[in-house]
Amino acid sequence: MPIVAAAGRATHVQELGAGPAVVMIHGLLIGSLASWYFTAAPQLARGHRVRVYDLRGHGRSERAASGYDTRTLAGDLDAVTADLREPFDLVGHSWGGLVALRYAIEHPARVRRLAIVEAPLPPSSALQMASFLADDGQLPARLLDALPAPLREAVASGRRQAERLMKSLELLVLESSLLADVRNEPDLADAELARVGTPALLLYGDSSACAPGGERLARALPAARHVVLPGGHYLHLDARDALARELEEFLA
Amino acid sequence: MSVDREDILRTVERLVVEVAGDELLLAGPITMTTSFNADLELESIEFVALAEKLQQHYGAGVDFVGWISKKELDQIIALTVGELVEFIASCRS
Cross-chain Cβ contact A38/B68 below 8 Å:
yes
Confidence of residue A146 (pLDDT cuts 50, 70, 90): low
What are the residue boundaries of the structural domains of chain B, listed by start? 3-92
Confidence of residue B93 (pLDDT cuts 50, 70, 90): confident
Cross-chain Cβ contact B73/A43 below 8 Å:
no
Report B:41-80 residues touching A (Cβ under 8 A).
41-45, 47-49, 52, 65-66, 68-69, 72-73, 76-77
A79: distance to nearest CA of chain B, Å?
22
Q: Indicate the range of A144-153, A173-182, A226-235, B56-65 predicted with least confidence.
A: A144-153
Q: Is pLDDT at B92 greater than 90 in this prediction?
A: no
Beta-bridged to residue A49, according to DSSP, are A21
Residues with Cβ within 8 Å of A24's Cβ and at least 6 positions away in sequence, in order, are: A33, A36, A40, A41, A44, A50, A51, A52, A90, A91, A92, A96
Distance CA A141, CA B49 (A): 30
Distance CA A22, CA B15 (A): 29
**If we measure between CA atoms, which residue out of A85, A80, A119, A82 comes closest to residue A99?**
A119
Q: What residues of A are in contact with residue B36 (Cβ under 8 Å)?
A: none
| Buried-state track A40-77, b at ≥16 Cβ within 10 A, e below 16 | bbbbbbeebbbbbbbbbbbbbbbebeebbbbebbbbbb
pTM score over 0.90: yes
Q: Note the pLDDT tens digit of each residue in A210-249.
A: 999 999 999 999 999 999 999 999 999 999 999 999 999 9
Confidence of residue A7 (pLDDT cuts 50, 70, 90): confident
A86 vs A161: which has the higher pLDDT: A86
Strands A49-53 and A9-16: antiparallel
Q: Note the pLDDT tens digit of each residue in A14-51.
A: 999 999 999 999 999 989 999 999 999 999 999 999 99
Distance CA A40, CA A43 (A): 6
Q: Which CATH superfamily does the domain covering A3-130+181-247 fall into?
A: Alpha/Beta hydrolase fold, catalytic domain (3.40.50.1820)
Distance CA A116, CA A98 (A): 8
Residues with Cβ within 8 Å of A232's Cβ and at least 6 positions away in sequence, in order, are: A148, A205, A207, A208, A238
Beta-bridged to residue A23, according to DSSP, are A51, A90
Confidence of residue A60 (pLDDT cuts 50, 70, 90): very high
Confidence of residue A127 (pLDDT cuts 50, 70, 90): confident
CB-based contact (8 Å) between A37 and chain B?
yes
Cross-chain Cβ contact B69/A60 below 8 Å:
no
CB-based contact (8 Å) between B18 and chain A?
no
Mean pLDDT (chain A) is: 91
Residue A145 has a pLDDT of: 66
Distance CA A75, CA A111 (A): 14
Q: Does domain B3-92 have CATH number 1.10.1200?
A: yes
Identify whether the C-beta of residue A202 lies closer than 8 Å to the C-beta of residue A218. yes
Cross-chain Cβ contact B48/A54 below 8 Å:
no
Residue A169 has a pLDDT of: 87
**If we measure between CA atoms, which residue out of A236, A233, A237 comes closest to residue A213?**
A233
Cross-chain Cβ contact A42/B38 below 8 Å:
no
Mean pLDDT of all residues in A65-90 = 97
Q: Is pLDDT at A157 greater than 60 in this prediction?
A: no
Strand ranges of the sheet holding A88-93, from the earlier edge strand across to the other edge: A3-6, A9-16, A49-53, A21-25, A88-93, A111-117, A200-205, A224-229
Distance CA A10, CA A4 (A): 6
Cross-chain Cβ contact A157/B38 below 8 Å:
yes
Residue A144 has a pLDDT of: 63
Q: Is pLDDT at B30 greater than 90 in this prediction?
A: yes
Mean pLDDT of all residues in A105-122 = 97
Confidence of residue A140 (pLDDT cuts 50, 70, 90): low
Residue A212 has a pLDDT of: 95
Identify whether the C-beta of residue A90 lies closer than 8 Å to the C-beta of residue A203. no
Phi and psi (nearest 5°) for A133? -85, 145
Q: Is pLDDT at A156 greater than 70 in this prediction?
A: no
Distance CA A24, CA B41 (A): 26
What are the residue boundaries of the structural domains of chain A, listed by start? 3-130+181-247
Residue B45 has a pLDDT of: 93
Residue A151 has a pLDDT of: 67
